[in-house]
Chains A and B, each alone.
Chain A
């Protein structure tokens, strides 16, 4: 500690620090504003939203907007659906990605590099271009209007990134462990379950969070592939609050808050974890 102090040769200019802080504070305000705005907007009526009072606090705090957004308890169903679909997508993505990565990183065979490149194609495909073909496929498999109708496409679209992240993590697991397991009499499967999977847990949370972000806000597929209330997700459900010729914006705002705040709350409590997951994913990738 002391040594560092002594040897520090150049001191930073004293003006720089306040400047950096000012800039960071401005950027902070810019980033906090949407959250504040969304919350106040959810408590206003159309007149205030359209002009009378866009940025200020609501004149009358219309808590009934929340009651209206919750009509018939549907938001509850949508919320549960979103959680079920996200959770299942994460599980499916994880299983598929970890297994595939194992085959491409630990087992030596011709073409594993090409296989990996093939999966990386997935990073570049725009999700919107696949709507009708995927719809037709789901229809032929009789899987429309079900949880699978979203779980399968979401997993497929998260797969490339998941494999990318997995690769980075798995390359870090020393190969000697595999050999030790082999000597202990483990086959490929045994090594996979007893050595690799337990060591991959940090990667799992990274992939889990990434996948969650991918599917939690997705609207296009959610709207087209599911038609029944019992399977609708939050974004599709919120979209239903918009009318053709009339739209009451207050309840829409309330629904947006209900859909966003849980994510934000989780983020506030887990921010360190989430950030480190993101970082891990990036560095390893």
Chain B
């Protein structure tokens, strides 16, 4: 009897709350909904919260709601939503191929019209990755590059006060580190995107940024000897023991924790890590960031970087208030960029209009590197279409695990990627 009562009570609660939820929302206001991946423990959470507070305060006529999801499950979720044409008005997306599929499916609202109002603050170059057939579909927020982070405490042990600037010195430094019993690099083999942070830099600095970029964008094939040689260079670093052999079984969280504990001298990863490093008062004074040195000066030069604006907000074509949503997305993107930069989560895609002196020193050195850059190749797993990117990642894993060499890498990719 008791059980039945409980069941009845629960059923009643359910019906009541379902009814109550149906009525929500205030009259006369324009409703806008947003999905993003700024979850509670994401480094971007704070900038999203602050930006949303600002923008909603400035627009009392808009009834704005937002939800955040974990990265991996968000990919499943947003794809299912696009397939069913059930996206929220504004949604977070990665630029290039990820958004490109949605654009191809005809689900994304074109932002050309709205961009005219913001072109002074947002350089058109920043829209390259979210432009398809000459039309703009995304609002970039922050941008990030791959940085070579160094634990200066460890480098001091082998006699360096700066990160070595040339490739020769860099290799000498690594050899000295090994001799002294330190592990030069930490890299998470379980998450192959972490391996690409190293490999892509090596390829870019050996074969040149343009070559790599053309390959990623499908303008030329993987069948390129320079790439094969660069892959061999990278693999030589692995076989010489520059990388933590246990890395193959570690995830990025674990590798990063190891780096901050002083297990590795270098850690190559996205510059979004600056925010985390800056938060750790004990570790922060030890860390410096630099650009990966040039390997082949004939083909590459300093200033060629991996990275670019990828975090993007887009507007659904199916939105009832697409025009309002577009304006709102631009304003929000600008503010997320503002607070994200001040927090050290990334570099501004938008021209800063505020005092940037409070930005942490690490992020500021990244900004200097970017200011001197002349070519940026977007991360390979973002730049290529979903299918190609995953084929690419599985070959990169094989390179890291020394299952294939440079020749095998280019031959395999040229064969498998259509």
Q: Do chains A and B touch in the complex (CB under 8 A)?
A: yes
Q: Is the CB of B76 within 8 A of A229?
A: no
Cβ contacts B340-366/A at 8 Å (1 or 0 each): 000000000000000000000000000
Please name all residues of chain B whose beta carbon is closer than 8 Å to the beta carbon of A131 when the two chains form the complex: 76, 80
Q: Interface range on chain B: under 10, 10 to 19, 20 to 34, or 35 or more?
A: 35 or more
B45 at interface (Cβ–Cβ under 8 A)?
yes
Please name all residues of chain A whose beta carbon is closer than 8 Å to the beta carbon of B180 when the two chains form the complex: none
Please name all residues of chain B whose beta carbon is closer than 8 Å to the beta carbon of A144 when the two chains form the complex: 86
Complex Cα gap A216–B261 (Å): 38
* Segment at the interface with A among B11-19, B101-109, B205-213, B407-415: B11-19
Q: Is the CB of A245 within 8 A of B43?
A: yes
Please name all residues of chain A whose beta carbon is closer than 8 Å to the beta carbon of B7 when the two chains form the complex: 87, 90-91
- Closest partner residue, chain B, to A81 (CB atom): B17
Complex Cα gap A247–B276 (Å): 10
B254 at interface (Cβ–Cβ under 8 A)?
yes
Please name all residues of chain A whose beta carbon is closer than 8 Å to the beta carbon of B18 when the two chains form the complex: 146-147
Q: Interface centre among B35, B45, B73, by most A CB within 10 Å? A: B73
A243 and B80 in contact (CB under 8 A), knowing A87-B10, A227-B35? no
The smallest C-beta distance from A197 to any residue of chain B, in angstroms, reads 11
A247 and B13 in contact (CB under 8 A), knowing A47-B257, A240-B69, A242-B71? no
Please name all residues of chain B whose beta carbon is closer than 8 Å to the beta carbon of A156 when the two chains form the complex: none
> Which residues of chain B from 18 to 58 have a CB within 8 Å of any chain A CB?
18, 21, 35, 37, 39-45
The smallest C-beta distance from B356 to any residue of chain A, in angstroms, reads 22
Q: Is the CB of B276 within 8 A of A245?
A: yes
Q: How many residue pairs at the A-B interface have CB separations less than 8 Å?
A: 112
The smallest C-beta distance from A233 to any residue of chain B, in angstroms, reads 13
Complex Cα gap A181–B384 (Å): 71
The smallest C-beta distance from A224 to any residue of chain B, in angstroms, reads 5
Q: Is the CB of B70 within 8 A of A50?
A: no
Complex Cα gap A147–B17 (Å): 10
- Closest partner residue, chain A, to B42 (CB atom): A243
- Closest partner residue, chain A, to B144 (CB atom): A245
> Which residues of chain A from 44 to 86 have a CB within 8 Å of any chain B CB?
46-47, 50-51, 68, 71, 83-84
B273 at interface (Cβ–Cβ under 8 A)?
yes
Q: Is the CB of A224 within 8 A of B86?
A: no
A177 at interface (Cβ–Cβ under 8 A)?
no
Q: Is the CB of B69 within 8 A of A223?
A: yes
Q: Is the CB of A88 within 8 A of B11?
A: yes
| Residue of A83, A132, A243 touching B45 (CB-CB under 8 A) | A243
- Closest partner residue, chain A, to B252 (CB atom): A245
Q: Is the CB of B73 within 8 A of A239?
A: yes
B162 at interface (Cβ–Cβ under 8 A)?
no
> Which residues of chain A from 239 to 256 have a CB within 8 Å of any chain B CB?
239-249, 251-252
A278 at interface (Cβ–Cβ under 8 A)?
no
Please name all residues of chain B whose beta carbon is closer than 8 Å to the beta carbon of A227 when the two chains form the complex: 35, 67, 77, 88
Complex Cα gap A91–B7 (Å): 8
The smallest C-beta distance from B39 to any residue of chain A, in angstroms, reads 5
Please name all residues of chain B whose beta carbon is closer than 8 Å to the beta carbon of A132 when the two chains form the complex: 80, 83
The smallest C-beta distance from A69 to any residue of chain B, in angstroms, reads 9
A194 at interface (Cβ–Cβ under 8 A)?
no
Q: Is the CB of B67 within 8 A of A228?
A: yes
A47 and B21 in contact (CB under 8 A), knowing A240-B70, A243-B40? no
A242 and B39 in contact (CB under 8 A), knowing A51-B261, A227-B67? yes
A279 at interface (Cβ–Cβ under 8 A)?
no
Q: Is the CB of A248 within 8 A of B11?
A: no
8 contacts between A and B (CB under 8 A): A46-B257, A51-B261, A223-B69, A240-B39, A243-B39, A243-B45, A246-B43, A248-B41
Would you list the 4 A-B pairs with minimal beta carbon distance, nearest first? A243-B42, A50-B257, A243-B41, A87-B10
- Given contacts A83-B10, A135-B83, A245-B276, 17 further A-B pairs with CB under 8 A are A47-B261, A51-B261, A88-B14, A91-B7, A139-B86, A224-B73, A227-B88, A230-B21, A240-B69, A241-B41, A243-B39, A243-B40, A243-B41, A243-B43, A243-B70, A244-B39, A245-B42
